[in-house]
Structures are given as structure tokens and as C-alpha cells.
Amino acid sequence: MQSFPALDVAIALALTYFFLSIIATAATEGVAHLRNQRARTLESWIGKMLSGAAATGTQEAVTEFYKSPEIDALSLSSGGGHPSYIPSSHFVSATLGLTKTAGAAGRIGEETWKTIGAQLRDPRIKDTAAGQALLSIYRRSDEDAARFRHEAEAWFDDQMERLSGVYRRWSQRIVWAVGIALVIAFNANTIQMVDTLYRDPARRDVIVAQAGNATASAKAGEALSRLDGNFAPPLGWARHGGYSGWWTVAVAPAGWLLTFLAISLGAPFWFDTLSKLARVRTTGTPPPATNATRKGEGDQERNAQPPPPEAG
């Protein structure tokens, strides 16, 4: 097969970034698991939503919320800790269950409209952020209990989407911290890798051959073993430190920064990039199918209407 040095270097870099991203993601998930971060993030939000209760302190309200039958069942299924996820129907029922007059709060659909209103106007609910939101939904539900529940659950789902953004931002900060640690630990200098791979066809060919065995489901252990193998990319301080002369020392920070930015893009991005580069190298860009329009490398979209007949 004909060799294309620049393309092969790009494939080798994509494979390296893919494995480093897998390690960063696994480390982030490990930190999140140890900290129980999802559950803690959700608990913090619930504390804010139940703050300001007149008849009880915020922490007591949160405690009673988690002791409600709906949430307690989720806690048991989570191994005894607070759940990381709460269905919207459970949240609405548990929130109304904080009132003294809740009764069968878990069966809102069976309660009269006035009973729901009494629950929402109870000071234990009314004076909280969640209560204010639910009371606003109640007032515009036109005495329709089913509509109230639907809109209340939709409000909670919307809040959870926003809360997911909070968790993703936390995760991204951990990925950045792990990425910096990986760059330093592996001496992952993109500029040095490009220079070494371009001048070393044998190493480049071996790494490119390994790219065909990469899978999207690769684990951190496999990534570590592949990066530390005999034919690994030019990483590491002992084997590939090689900083001699003012030029290599001067450009090293730029090479580390490039690697860090690449890792922050994530493993799915680099696996997709690796797949596209490998496809170009092995088969070239396939021609578009009949009545189709090219959209990107190897992707095409078939037109809804057949092309007009040729004149003549």
C-alpha cells in the first residue's frame, strides 16, 4: 500500500489522543464515583429548592424529602446512599409529601383540585423555591389535575437538564486537571511526536497498523498498555525526553498545550477522526451514490427527488 507520511502521522496522533482521552475520561469517572458527585450535585439543588421553609430548617426539609417513600425506595436501590437520579413523578409526589395535610400525596391524580391547592399553600411548601414554582404551575393549570402533574414534571425535567450542565462543567474541570497530569506524566509533546514520527517510518507504520484494532469500547487499561508498549508513540521522559538545545526547550510548552487541548476534545471525537482518517488511507473517498449529495468525508445524503432528465 502506498505510504502518505503526513496522513500516517495524523493517524498516529489521533490514535495517541484517543488513548489519552480514554484515560482522562476513566479517571474523571473514578473521581466522580469516589465523591458520589452526581448525588451530591442533586442533593445541593434539592437543598436550594427546599430552602426558606417556614416550619422547618432547610436541612430538616431535605432530610424529610429523602425519607419520603418514593425517594427512600430509590435510595435503597442505590445501595443506601442518596440517589443520583430522581424521576420527575417521584419529585412532585415527595415534595407535596412534606406538607402536614399531604395524605395520599403520591396519588395526586386521585386528589381533588382543592386538596392539591391546600398542599401547595402550606407554609412548608409555599415558602420554598420549589413550592413557588409548583404553585405558579397550579394557578395556570385551569383546575386540571392531570395538566398540573404533567407541567410540574416537565418543569422538573427542565431543571434536571440544567443541572446536568452543572455536572458536565464540573466533569470538564476534572478532565482538564487529569489532562494536565497526563501530559506531564507522559511528556506528551505533540510537536515532538510529529517530528519523531515523520522521521521514523518504521515506528509510524507500526502505530498506523495498530489503528485498525482500535475500538470505541476500549478501556483505560488497554489504552495504558498500548501507550506503554514496545512500539508506542514517542511518549515518556526516560525514552523520549530528548530536550537538548534551546529550540526543543522553547517549543516544549507549545507541544504540551496542543496535546492538552486535544485531550479535552474527548475520546468520541478522536475515535471518529481516527476512523475517517483510516478510511481515507485504505480506500480513499468513496464516490457518492446515485442521486446523492456529498456531506463531509465519506458521508452522503440521498436526495428526496430524482435528478431532472437530461435535455435532448
Distance (Å, whole) CA 50 – CA 123: 11
Position 107 scores a pLDDT of 45
Q: Region 247-264: what's the mean pLDDT?
A: 87
Of the spans 9-23, 98-112, 136-150, 242-256, which averages the highest pLDDT?
A: 9-23
Position 251 scores a pLDDT of 82
Given a cut of 60, whether residue 61 has pLDDT beyond it is yes
Lowest mean pLDDT among 43-47, 108-112, 126-130, 260-264: 108-112
- The number of residues in the chain equals 312
Distance (Å, whole) CA 90 – CA 74: 9
Position 301 scores a pLDDT of 56
Prediction pTM value: 0.70
Question: Which is higher by pLDDT, 87 or 95?
Answer: 87
Distance (Å, whole) CA 77 – CA 72: 9
pLDDT band at 28, cuts 50/70/90? very high
270: DSSP letter: H
Contact 197, 234 (CB under 8 A): yes
Q: Is 215 helix (H, G, I), strand (E, B) or coil?
A: coil
Angle between helix axes 5-35 and 145-186 (nearest 10 degrees) is 120
pLDDT band at 173, cuts 50/70/90? very high
Of the spans 29-33, 138-142, 243-247, which averages the highest pLDDT?
A: 29-33
pLDDT band at 112, cuts 50/70/90? low
185-222 as b/e: b if 16+ CB within 10 A: ebbbbbbbbbbbbeeeeebbebbbebbeebeeebebee
pLDDT in tens, 226-241: 777 655 667 877 655 5
Of the spans 29-33, 76-80, 114-118, 287-291, which averages the highest pLDDT?
A: 29-33
253-267 as b/e: b if 16+ CB within 10 A: eebbebbbebbeebb
Going 103 to 108 to 111 to 113, the CA torsion angle's sign is positive
Contact 278, 212 (CB under 8 A): yes
Distance (Å, whole) CA 163 – CA 10: 37
Question: Which is higher by pLDDT, 215 or 23?
Answer: 23
Given a cut of 80, whether residue 111 has pLDDT beyond it is no
Distance (Å, whole) CA 192 – CA 234: 8
Mean confidence (pLDDT) of the chain: 78
Given a cut of 50, whether residue 159 has pLDDT beyond it is yes
- Torsions phi, psi for 293 (to 5 deg): -120, 130
pLDDT band at 217, cuts 50/70/90? confident
Contact 100, 54 (CB under 8 A): no
pLDDT band at 92, cuts 50/70/90? confident
- 255: its cell numbers: 507541544
φ/ψ region of 200 (left if φ > 0, alpha if ψ in -120 to 50, else beta) reads beta
Distance (Å, whole) CA 41 – CA 46: 9
Position 200 scores a pLDDT of 84
- 140: its cell numbers: 395556570
